Every structure is written in structure tokens, then in C-alpha cells.
Amino acid sequence: MVCIIAGCRNRARHNFGVRLRRPRIWAIWAPNTEAYLCDEHAVQGLRVEVTLIPTDTGVVDTEVSSPRGGLVRRLVPLRTYDLVLSMLAAGECVGDYVPPGSDRSVLDVFLDGGEKAARLACS
């Protein structure tokens, strides 16, 4: 991966993620983004500016950029965890379900394991 910081050519392996925490339990959502940082930029300090814009798409839509650098975007379905659990409880195959506004199936996002997990759920 390429570091998102402008002009940096270091190998980037640290993925930037966002999380909305539920009090004392797990996150309501916590998608990784498509942004990566190199070892150097991961530890030197960063200023992070966050703008939250409400939508009614059922998707967490993240855009990450750096000044004069790249901009990356990722769409992740909202309430994935609850949706997958309810579909599995109902005996439904969740591997192929792609929520509106997303480019990934629910199970791909939920388990981040993709094909193998989807096959298990659909067998």
C-alpha cells in the first residue's frame, strides 16, 4: 500500500479506521477506511479533522485525504453486525446480500474474510 501522506513513498501497512462506540459494549460500527500510513507517519503525530454529515443511505461512507495528497473513499453498510446475526438466526444465506449503496456483501464486511466465510454461511 501507498502512504496517504502527500509525497511519502514509504510502504504503508497501518490502516486508518473509524469507530462509533456504544457505551460499555462494542461499537455500533467501526469500518476500516482505504487509507494507510507508513511506520514513520503512524508515530510522528497527526492532526485529524473529522466532519460528520448525516445521510439516509444506510451506509457509513468514509473519505480520508491528506493536504495535496490522495483521497480514498469506502462505503460500508450500517448495522452490519445486527443484520448478519438476524439473517443467520433466520437460517438465511447472508453471503450474497449486498445492501443498497454498498459495493460489498454483508458477510464480506462483517467477517472481513470474504469468500470462505460466505461459503460457510451458505452451506
The contact set with Zn ion (CB under 5 A) reads 3, 5, 8, 10, 38, 41
Can you give the length of the chain in residues? Answer: 123
Q: Which residues contact 4 (CB under 8 A, 6 or more apart)?
A: 12, 16, 35, 36, 37, 64, 65, 66, 69, 70, 72
- Considering the complex, state which of residue 4 and residue 106 has its C-beta at the smaller distance from Zn ion: 4
- Considering the complex, state which of residue 15 and residue 86 has its C-beta at the smaller distance from Zn ion: 15
CB of 3 vs Zn ion, minimal distance in Å: 3
**Pair type for strands 27-29 and 20-21:** antiparallel
- Considering the complex, state which of residue 39 and residue 103 has its C-beta at the smaller distance from Zn ion: 39
CB of 61 vs Zn ion, minimal distance in Å: 25
- Considering the complex, state which of residue 38 and residue 83 has its C-beta at the smaller distance from Zn ion: 38
CB of 2 vs Zn ion, minimal distance in Å: 9
CB of 31 vs Zn ion, minimal distance in Å: 22
